[in-house]
Structure 1
């Protein structure tokens, strides 16, 4: 994984670069709301969610319930994508309806909305900044060789072979979502944490009650494992192509807004189906530049942004989905190199 420092990057231009781009986007009408689109999408996701749980009850105690678990894993991912758009005020202009609908969506999948919104806001402000972006804070994985050299315990152990373990570990992301949400409730600075706690634990109680009420214990555990692992894998596959393997900023290396967002993000090529499966996050550069832009406008904004970046001489990366995963895994392998070298040195000693 490449780490860029301020000395290796041309001096950032002023904020006028983004202002000129923003004017083009606004004049093209791409910041306008799309209430019809979000109404249809919200209804479709809600019907698919309710239909999944209805199928769960109707199928009952049979192994076909695992197919329902796989289906619900995808629908949970779609609910998460809708919550993401709501949090960015792509759906509603005002804060209250955005927070209310965001909490409803979060409660539907067992996610603490306040915790996630705080974390995601910090990510958008400083994407891929080693000290400021919570998405690349060393936890189980290390994202740079600097983090690897400082790693101890489990990250130090996993980091050696993290590229090979990455996708298996993504299966735990659904569980991590709940654990991190619950852990954040202890943070007194978190707003509405009592409400978030009630929704989070209410979802967990209802979810487990439904599983063990409808299914025998063994089958309920199997459903839980399939559903949560596939949900976590889907979530991870949604977000991994966006920034992993892109330049990591360190220290005072903070280019102007346009370059900070473009240089640390990667777009993924694809059709309307890619847009549906990834919730528009395949247009990550446009999303980071204009977080409140409605999802269906991101594809329309792409040629404008790409052409503008070419005029400025700013690198604009777009690749295929498989290639994006390959780049992310290669960067993880490079990041873990110091841990592998340390192991070899210890073995020789």
Structure 2
């Protein structure tokens, strides 16, 4: 946490020192990396992984998400808790709700015109769309905080988010020429979207989707819909520990450094119960996502084969 806060401050020192130069785009890329780490700390504290005190975790999540990243902690917690409760389940998991990208062929069947064409070719647009993920997160946060829905600590989060989102471009336009300031924001936002969205997408996309209403026990619901990513220290850093997604879903409040320690126990237990444990390489995971999205577009994939039915018959 101290290192991340220092890196955040260091970025602004670098902006001042680099000055009127296109090397600012390298600083913007570094800022995207730092903000991704900020988001991971917000995620960890929202899961109450950091402190023994629930209140300390909640406020840490609020400070990291709202103050440093410009995202609503309340919006994120609500969305993310629903995802953890029913990962990859239609009608329950907000991460596979119909949107620009569709995750099941039955939703695509309802789309016509450009929307239908896009859905049939969506796999090829996956990475370009990730560049807009950061902007989408900011918009979703503001939409909730400005809505009439009940939001806990709204009047704490809203000023923090608005101040962060306004102060950021104002500072850049004061320190840099307008063209370089705009380019800085564009590079930072695009890369932030790719890094953050690319950290979450490989964990469930392309894994079995559970139909609405289907009952699956906790272990299988969490393990069969999750995918771990191999890659060592570099992947651990860039994905914020989310590459141990199976373990994270089984033990969401377990501190990030412990996930890799419990992995052998989880893997052996799943093997003992004949529950499929999925782990693939970093680049392989993205190939799977693109292939899956294109298969949805071709409507040649079923939703989910129930593991109990597969073992004992329908």
Scaled by the length of structure 2, the TM-score of the pair is: 0.92
Pick closer, same or farther for the CA change 1:93–1:263 going to 2, 3 Å.
same
Shift in Å, 1:80: 0.4
Shift in Å, 1:270: 1.8
Shift in Å, 1:98: 1.2
1:43 and 2:2 aligned: yes
Shift in Å, 1:60: 1.7
Question: Match of 2:123?
Answer: 163
Native 8 Å contact 1:130 1:249 kept in 2:
yes
Shift in Å, 1:338: 4.6
Pick closer, same or farther for the CA change 1:261–1:154 going to 2, 3 Å.
farther
Out of 176, 185, 201, which is 2:162 matched to? 201
Question: Match of 1:146?
Answer: 106
The root-mean-square deviation of aligned C-alpha atoms, in Å, is 1.4
Question: Match of 1:33?
Answer: none
Partner SS state of residue 49, structure 2: coil
Question: Match of 1:61?
Answer: 20
Partner SS state of residue 231, structure 1: helix
Question: Match of 2:310?
Answer: none
Distance 1:336 1:197 in 2: 39
Out of 239, 252, 268, which is 1:307 matched to? 268
Shift in Å, 1:278: 0.9
Native 8 Å contact 2:92 2:212 kept in 1:
no
Native 8 Å contact 1:267 1:284 kept in 2:
yes
| Aligned ranges 1:228-243 → 2 under 5 Å | 228-243=189-204
| Aligned ranges 1:125-274 → 2 under 5 Å | 125-151=85-111, 155-185=115-145, 186-274=147-235
Pick closer, same or farther for the CA change 1:154–1:130 going to 2, 3 Å.
farther
Shift in Å, 1:183: 0.9
1:93 and 2:93 aligned: no
- Higher RCO, 1 vs 2 (CA within 8 Å, ≥6 residues apart): 1
Native 8 Å contact 2:48 2:58 kept in 1:
no
Question: Match of 1:114?
Answer: 74
Mean Cα deviation higher: 281-290 or 196-205: 196-205
Output one character per residue of 1:248-274: Cα deviation in whole Å (capped at 9) or x when no partner.
011221311111000000001121221
Shift in Å, 1:94: 2.5
1:105 and 2:64 aligned: yes
Question: Match of 1:10?
Answer: none
Question: Match of 1:84?
Answer: 43
Distance 1:85 1:338 in 2: 37
Distance 2:197 2:230 in 1: 18
Runs of 4+ deviating beyond 4 Å: 152-155
* Structure 2 residues not aligned, in runs of 5+: 301-314
Shift in Å, 1:151: 3.1
Shift in Å, 1:219: 1.0
Question: Match of 1:330?
Answer: 291
Partner SS state of residue 250, structure 1: coil
Native 8 Å contact 1:87 1:102 kept in 2:
yes
Shift in Å, 1:154: 6.3
Shift in Å, 1:327: 0.8
Distance 1:199 1:150 in 2: 40
Partner SS state of residue 136, structure 2: helix
Native 8 Å contact 1:248 1:264 kept in 2:
yes
Distance 2:64 2:235 in 1: 22
